[in-house]
């Protein structure tokens, strides 16, 4: 019996060393591609009728004009939605979200934000997220859900009328969609900067360990 227990714990250690399982890595990078396509084509669509007093430079948009951008946006949406839905389903079903992202406590977040701002936040154990990471990852998943729901509202405001009602009305859903994009861009800046600062986190997302 003891040998069996030892094998179990060895297997457990082996498993523990695998920081990002293959499905997380695959879905992460599919999502990265889909998000970039959605954001760049979304900027071109935004330019057709800007909500604010600025537009996105054509050199950073995708599609060339409104019609081309819409084709990209409504093609990449399938990639984003199917991949995102699968990610949520597997993340919930395997308990990964629960074990990795919960609990998020206010005191933990405050403590880790202080540590992060003084550059004393530890990344020694890459299998465990600190509270700043937990908050950001849980937050960006939520933003991802909201951007898809607001996007569906803008796409199908009559057929999905009740979804529109969730945001108030059609023009509000557009603002929500834009704000979610802005939040994702902010997240991306921080996320990429930190991944480069802590290369082993990037390595884990590439090869798993």
Partner 1 sequence: MAKRSFLIPGVDNRLLIRDAIKVMPDLTRRRFISGGASLGALTLLTGCDVLDGNSAEEVLKKVSKFNDAVQAWIFNPNALAPTFPDSAITKPFPFNAYYDLDDAPEIDANSWKLEVRGLVDNKKSWTLEQLYALPQVKQVTRHICVEGWSAIGSWSGTPLRDFLKLIGADTTAKYVWFQCADKEGYNSPLDMPTALHPQTQMTFKFADEILPRAYGYPMKIRVPTKLGFKNPKYVISMEVTNDYKGGYWEDQGYNSFSGN
Contact between 87 and partner 1 (CB under 8 A)?
no
Instruction: Kindly indicate which of the ranges 61-69, 142-150, 181-189, 198-206 contains the residues binding partner 1, using the contact rule CB under 8 A.
Output: 61-69
* Residue 62 engages partner 1 in binding (rule: CB under 8 A): yes
Choose between 63 and 91: whose C-beta lies nearer to partner 1: 63
Identify which of residues 78 and 128 has a Cβ nearer to partner 1 in the complex. Answer: 78
Stretch that binds partner 1, among 2-10, 43-51, 134-142, 180-188 (CB under 8 A): 43-51
Output the CA–CA distances (angstroms, integers) from residue 142 to 121, 139, 180, in the order listed. Answer: 24, 5, 10
31, 188 Cβ separation under 8 angstroms: no
CB of 30 to partner 1, least distance (A): 16
Binder to partner 1 among 2, 3, 49, 99 (CB under 8 A)? Answer: 49
Structure tokens at 101: 């992202």
Half-sphere exposure of 24 toward its Cβ, with a 13 Å CA cutoff?
18
Site string for partner 1, 136-175 (x = CB under 8 A): ------------------x-xxxx-x--------xx--x-
For partner 1, which residue of 9, 10, 12, 74 counts as binding (CB under 8 A)?
74
CB atoms within 10 A of CB 8: 10
Number of residues that bind partner 1 (CB under 8 A): 32
Name the strand (E) or helix (H) holding 157: none
Q: How far, in Å, CA of 188 to CA of 57, rounded?
A: 19
Which structure tokens are listed for 103? 């609990």
Measure Cα distances from 209 to 31, 121, 199 in Å: 20, 21, 12
Which of 58, 114, 128, 209: binder of partner 1 (CB under 8 A)?
A: 58
Neighbour tally for 34: CB within 10 Å: 20
126 DSSP 8-state letter: T
12/168 with CB nearer partner 1: 168
46 contacts partner 1 (rule: CB under 8 A): yes
Any idea which residue has 């939605």 for tokens?
A: 81
Question: Does 85 sit near partner 1 (CB under 8 A)?
Answer: no
Count of CB atoms situated within 10 Å of the CB of 55:
14
User: Using CB under 8 A as the criterion, which residues of the chain lie in contact with partner 1 when the complex forms?
Assistant: 40, 45-46, 48-49, 51, 58-68, 70-72, 74-75, 78, 154, 156-159, 161, 170-171, 174
């Amino acid at each position: 019996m003891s040998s069996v227990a030892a094998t179990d714990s060895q297997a457990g250690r082996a498993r523990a060393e695998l920081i990002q399982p293959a499905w997380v890595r695959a879905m992460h990078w599919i999502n990265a591609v889909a998000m970039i396509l959605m954001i760049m084509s979304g900027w071109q669509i935004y330019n057709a009728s800007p909500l604010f007093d600025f537009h996105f430079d054509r050199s950073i948009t995708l599609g060339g004009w409104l019609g081309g951008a819409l084709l990209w946006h409504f093609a990449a949406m399938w990639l984003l939605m199917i991949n995102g839905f699968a990610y949520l389903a597997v993340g919930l079903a395997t308990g990964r979200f629960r074990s990795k992202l919960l609990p998020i406590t206010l005191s933990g977040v405050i403590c880790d934000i202080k540590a992060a701002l003084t550059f004393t936040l530890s990344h020694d154990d890459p299998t465990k997220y600190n509270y700043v990471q937990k908050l950001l990852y849980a937050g960006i998943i939520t933003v991802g859900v909201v951007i898809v729901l607001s996007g569906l509202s803008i796409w199908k405001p009559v057929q999905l009328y009740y979804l529109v009602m969730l945001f108030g009305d059609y023009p509000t859903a557009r603002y929500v969609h834009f704000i979610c994009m802005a939040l994702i861009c902010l997240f991306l800046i921080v996320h990429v900067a930190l991944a480069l600062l802590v290369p082993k986190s990037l390595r884990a997302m590439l090869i798993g360990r």
